[in-house]
Amino acid sequence: MAVCIAVIAKENYPLYIRSVPTQNELKFHYTVHTSLDVVEEKISAVGKSLGDQRELYLGLLYPTEDYKMFRKLHNSFTDVMCNPFHNPGDTIQSKAFDGIVSGMMVQTG
């Protein structure tokens, strides 16, 4: 279960970001943004190690006392990118993607 799901472009801007307790949205944005530090570190580490170790799961990105952050959600993203009408680099506006994200999130009022 997730509280906040973000898809980040390789230039580090958010392609998609959604969080469940909406009142805390700003905090999530800050947190996700900061966690990019670790993402960058891990990705560059993958680049360094030789061979094709394409571990897509990056593990714990930014530990906080409130939530744990991971990187997941790849298949659905692939689907979005396969949409011929989607311009890579644009923000994601897809109902299907929204639905999948909602499924991953905690449904709290």
Residues that bind other proteins (CB under 8 A): 9, 11-15, 25-26, 29-30, 33-34, 36-38, 40-41, 63-66, 87-91
Instruction: Compute the least distance from the CB of residue 95 to other proteins, in Å.
Output: 19
CB nearer to other proteins: give 33 or 72: 33
Instruction: Compute the least distance from the CB of residue 60 to other proteins, in Å.
Output: 8
Q: Which of 76, 14, 10, 67 is nearest to 43 (CA)?
A: 10
What is the tally of helices (H) and strands (E) in the chain?
Answer: 3, 2
Instruction: Compute the least distance from the CB of residue 71 to other proteins, in Å.
Output: 16
Q: Which of 68, 84, 85, 75 is nearest to 31 (CA)?
A: 68
Q: How many CB atoms lie within 10 A of CB 54?
A: 6
CB nearer to other proteins: give 45 or 96: 45
